[in-house]
Homo-oligomer: A and B are copies of this chain.
């Protein structure tokens, strides 16, 4: 049984500090080079998709079910079978679905860019407005905030609990301020907290009464089938159906991709929305491109066949990454569990563990890690403008390194957490 730091006197803390410092110096002397900063699949996960390359070969026809030659120009909104496959992930009908190229981030960026340039469904282009605001549940996905930051959109932090964003606050902003045009959501296994939105949260989203007619929920369903435990798969309400039921069919843009299913950056991205939104988007998209990569769309359909094929494939991924999550969570538990100096999430899916240290320690911990050869996501990265008001949140991404490296990395991380916390308690932490 370990003693909580707060129950120790200065002498005990000082003694412990010296022990932890020695441990840190020992680790540092190893000259490690470890990286748990980005949510990338490991090479062994990518290997599962190598057969994707074989399903389209030179002896094969390249024709869609409706007779389109995928090798030639045309069909800018996706081939029918790809709409069904990606719609299966998102719970959308083909008339609600557009299939794009390889990057869902690019699809989201383009949705914001189109709203800025041309406006949404006949409303004023955002670039003509004095002020545009987005709500940002925090901690969240740094690249979401990067998009809105680039467009000069004011970002407002929204706290999250285990059920999703603080919906009282969301309603307060959305239903009253016409400058609030959007909110970034990762409803399943949220990046980085792993939170799954509750039915009540989804229903309250669907029932919003936005002051702005061009307010949209940016529903980034990036991890919708990225479960860690086959017997505990998160299932959320279908946002498109809930919005329809609530008389708000146009309020949401939903996104997904196969980036963390097949090959990141060489997969297929898609979005879904009401037919009115789809028509609005297509009316602009028709000048942007003649069409996205239909060969790769067909390749993915032939590899997976349908949503069941996707889900089966993801269970193989889970078998690889589950032990990595478990070593992270077990080590945090063992090393820090009784010290009362940090909290962290225990996700059932997705790509991250979200860690909260004592206030004012996150930057120092990440710096200590870097000094010893361990790259963490930058402290504050999960917040708009890169500013974590409490300087306590750190994102842990366990998927990419080997199990061995993860084990070493997370142990070193706990040493840095202890060291910085002790420095703080002993008044030695430099701001």
Q: Interface residues, chain A, CB within 8 Å of chain B? A: 38, 40-41, 43, 46, 49-51, 53-54, 56-58, 60, 69-74, 101-103, 105-106, 109, 113, 116-118, 125, 127-128, 143, 146-147, 149-151, 259, 263-266, 284, 286-296
- Which residues on the B side are within 8 Å of A57 (C-beta)? 53-54, 57
Given known pairs A56-B53, A101-B101, A117-B117, the reply for A40 and B289 (CB within 8 Å) is: no
CB pair A264–B113 under 8 Å, yes or no, is no
- In the complex formed, the residue of B with least CB distance to A110 is B288
- Which residues on the B side are within 8 Å of A291 (C-beta)? 103, 265
- A106 to B292 CA separation, bound complex (whole angstroms): 10
CB pair A72–B289 under 8 Å, yes or no, is no
Number of copies: 2
- Which residues on the B side are within 8 Å of A117 (C-beta)? 113, 116-117, 127, 151
Distance (whole angstroms) from the CB of A401 to the closest CB of chain B: 13
Contact of A284 among B50, B102, B150 (CB under 8 A): B150
- Which residues on the B side are within 8 Å of A101 (C-beta)? 101-102, 292-293
- Which residues on the B side are within 8 Å of A60 (C-beta)? 53
CB pair B289–A266 under 8 Å, yes or no, is no
- A54 to B57 CA separation, bound complex (whole angstroms): 6
CB pair A109–B287 under 8 Å, yes or no, is yes
Distance (whole angstroms) from the CB of A55 to the closest CB of chain B: 10
CB pair B266–A290 under 8 Å, yes or no, is no
Given known pairs A73-B265, A264-B73, A287-B150, the reply for A102 and B41 (CB within 8 Å) is: no
Contact of A263 among B72, B103, B284, B288 (CB under 8 A): B72
CB pair B105–A73 under 8 Å, yes or no, is no
- In the complex formed, the residue of B with least CB distance to A52 is B58
Distance (whole angstroms) from the CB of A248 to the closest CB of chain B: 29
- A149 to B284 CA separation, bound complex (whole angstroms): 11
| 19 examples of A-B residue contacts, CB within 8 angstroms | A43-B72, A46-B69, A49-B71, A53-B56, A54-B57, A71-B264, A73-B265, A101-B102, A103-B289, A103-B290, A105-B289, A106-B289, A109-B289, A116-B117, A117-B117, A143-B287, A146-B287, A264-B290, A266-B293
- A118 to B43 CA separation, bound complex (whole angstroms): 37
Distance (whole angstroms) from the CB of A323 to the closest CB of chain B: 20
Distance (whole angstroms) from the CB of A4 to the closest CB of chain B: 40
- Which residues on the B side are within 8 Å of A125 (C-beta)? 127
Given known pairs A103-B291, A287-B143, the reply for A54 and B46 (CB within 8 Å) is: no
Distance (whole angstroms) from the CB of A276 to the closest CB of chain B: 20
- Which residues on the B side are within 8 Å of A70 (C-beta)? 263, 265-266
- A125 to B265 CA separation, bound complex (whole angstroms): 30
- A143 to B290 CA separation, bound complex (whole angstroms): 9
Distance (whole angstroms) from the CB of A316 to the closest CB of chain B: 15
- In the complex formed, the residue of B with least CB distance to A114 is B113
- Which residues on the B side are within 8 Å of A71 (C-beta)? 46, 49, 263-266
- A109 to B40 CA separation, bound complex (whole angstroms): 30
- In the complex formed, the residue of B with least CB distance to A148 is B287
CB pair B263–A109 under 8 Å, yes or no, is no
Contact of A69 among B43, B143, B287, B288 (CB under 8 A): B43
Most chain B CB inside 10 Å of its own CB: which residue of A50, A57, A60, A289: A289
In the A-B complex, list the 9 residue pairs whose CB atoms are closest, starting with the nearest: A50-B58, A266-B295, A71-B263, A106-B289, A73-B264, A265-B291, A46-B71, A103-B289, A146-B287
Distance (whole angstroms) from the CB of A416 to the closest CB of chain B: 26
CB pair A74–B289 under 8 Å, yes or no, is no
- A34 to B58 CA separation, bound complex (whole angstroms): 29
- A368 to B246 CA separation, bound complex (whole angstroms): 52
- In the complex formed, the residue of B with least CB distance to A291 is B265
